[in-house]
Amino acid sequence: MPVPKDIEAEIYYLTAEEGGRSAPAFTGYRPQFYYNEQDWDASHIYPDVDVAQPGETVRAYIGFLSPKEHIGKVHVGMEFLVREGARTVGKGVITKIIELEQSASNAK
């Protein structure tokens, strides 16, 4: 089953010196999407690059594992953090809402 493209975002991955990852992130990466003081699991797809290197800004499609929880809460221009546990590894901003409504209606 393909990963949904609930939202599109621009993400800057912190360098190791900034406290981020030392290794690149690949499509299929599942960090936490953090906003409103809560972490949410989400899968990433990078349509323009094979890998997202630390220190780079990339476009990403993000698919939430719990899409119903985000209806009416996420919006274009909203900033969020990309986290691995309590460690922030990236900073992002939502650029489009794509399939969120459809994903939420398809969710069991």
The residue among 16, 1, 12, 2 whose CA lies nearest residue 60 is 12
Q: Where are the alpha helices (DSSP H) in 1-108?
A: 100-106
* Residue 79 contacts residue 7 (beta carbons within 8 Å): no
For residue 9, give the 3-state DSSP assignment. Answer: strand
**DSSP symbol at 31:** -
Kindly state the tokens that stand for 28.
Answer: 């299929």
| pLDDT single digits (tens) 31-55 | 999 999 999 999 999 999 989 999 9
- How much is the pTM? 0.94
* Residue 57 contacts residue 12 (beta carbons within 8 Å): yes
* Residue 55 φ/ψ region, left for φ over 0, alpha for ψ in the -120 to 50 degree band, beta for the rest: left
**Is residue 86 predicted with pLDDT exceeding 80?**
yes
Domains of the chain, earliest start first: 7-106 (2.40.30.10)
pLDDT score for 3: 72
